[in-house]
Structure 1
Amino acid sequence: MSSLTAKQSPRRNRPGIRAEDWCSWSTPPLEEMDTTLAFQQLIQSRVRSDPTDIEAILQPPESTDEAAWQYEQLRQICLELNSLVTLLEQECTYETCPEMKADEWQYLCAAHPSPQPCCAIDYIMHTLDGATALLNSHRHFPSRVSIPEPSIKQFQNIARRLYRVFAHAWFSHREIFLESEFTNRTV
């Protein structure tokens, strides 16, 4: 094991760590992060620091690739959306939500060869799985630090579909949405 300098202190949680000390290490400035995961680490550090300060979480560092920053924000949304979906699974079933709706809007599921109706929870799972698979696709996103121009066009599509999950939760399962928001501050 190599010795670490003060600047390179390990960022890990030790066995037996108290909950209030979980991930309590300081985050080095972006310029000192020599990793392809720098944006992800910075976003997650900001979320841990103050999950209610949405502007700070979304604000890209100076002179960064805006597309790479947006890419990591979408990955973070997918990551955090899993906790809402876990809560929804208890109440959002084929019987209670046979269609994917938000207010008066009905959505067709794009996970099939041709768009078709799905019950809401299946639509949500297909959407989250599809977004995660696309964001992890080496064909569309070969690097996490430089996003190819054609792949940037996927961002709007991903965001629109993920928004529908939030909209369904808001209009059809408001208590679960608010519980998730209070607990996790995902939106």
Structure 2
Amino acid sequence: MDSTLAVQQYIQQLIRKDPSAIDDILTPPDSQDEGVWKYEHLRQFCMELNAIAVRLQAECNAETCSQMTATEQWIFLCAAHKTPKECPAIDYTRHTLDGAACLLNSYKYFPSRVSIKESSVGKLGSVCRRVYRIFSHAYFHHRSVLMKSSPKPTYASVSPFS
């Protein structure tokens, strides 16, 4: 796919067709650049995770979730600060999604959506790890909000992509 938005549109078309067909959604077409495929999936995941984050605000706040945790085992530090530090979960969520949007829309790292340099593809793993922490927090601490998000599961609520 060699037009600017072709991969994004193709992924969104597959999601609309059947959001539970994860294998189909995650399998790239023949000859599709793997870096572009990962990049576009991460963009889609972040877009859908933003909608979940908005719904989380009803019960996830500095008082109820003073730290970003998924399980009781880990406390995640927010990388949006000069020196990584603890943030309330909802602030971590906002900071992380803002940072992901800035990076994924950065002309410096992603000047084209048709081909992506290997050095830029390497940045996707870090973003992926951070945004999945948001999903994990929602799953372990606010599952009812996550499950009420949509009558049909959203891509972000069922995707194993990482």
Q: Same fold (TM over 0.5)?
A: yes
Aligned equivalent of 2:34:
66
Aligned mate of 1:131, from 97, 100, 108 = 100
Aligned equivalent of 1:175:
144
Aligned mate of 2:6, from 38, 45, 60 = 38
Answer whether contact 2:3 2:114 (CA < 8 A) is retained. Answer: no
Aligned equivalent of 1:18:
none
1:6-63 deviation per Cα after TM superposition (whole angstroms, max 9, x unaligned) = xxxxxxxxxxxxxxxxxxxxxxxx5xxx621000000000011101111111110001
Percent identical among aligned pairs is 52
CA distance in 2, matches of 1:149, 1:57: 23
Q: Which runs of 5 or more residues in structure 2 are unaligned?
A: none
State the one-letter code of the partner of 2:135.
F
Aligned equivalent of 1:99:
67
Q: TM-score scaled by structure 2? A: 0.91
Cα displacement (A) at 1:143 = 0.5
1:130-156 deviation per Cα after TM superposition (whole angstroms, max 9, x unaligned) = 011100000010100111111111111
Q: TM-score scaled by structure 1? A: 0.80
Please list every run of at least 4 consecutive aligned residues from structure 1 whose deviation after the TM superposition is greater than 4 angstroms.
181-184
> Is the counterpart of residue 164 in structure 1 residue 133 in structure 2?
yes
Structure possessing the higher relative contact order (Cα contacts under 8 Å, 6 or more residues apart): 2
Higher alpha-carbon Rg: 1
Q: Are residues 75 and 164 of structure 1, via their aligned partners in 2, closer, same or farther at CA, if it must alter by over 3 Å? A: same
Please give the secondary structure, in 1, of the residue aligned with 2:15: helix
Aligned equivalent of 1:49:
17
Answer whether contact 2:52 2:149 (CA < 8 A) is retained. Answer: yes
CA distance in 1, matches of 2:90, 2:152: 21
CA RMSD between the two structures: 1.3
Answer whether contact 2:100 2:127 (CA < 8 A) is retained. Answer: yes
Q: Which runs of 5 or more residues in structure 1 are unaligned?
A: 1-29
Aligned equivalent of 2:90:
121
CA distance in 2, matches of 1:174, 1:168: 9
Answer whether contact 2:69 2:137 (CA < 8 A) is retained. Answer: yes
Cα displacement (A) at 1:183 = 4.2
Please give the secondary structure, in 1, of the residue aligned with 2:97: helix
State the one-letter code of the partner of 1:89.
Q
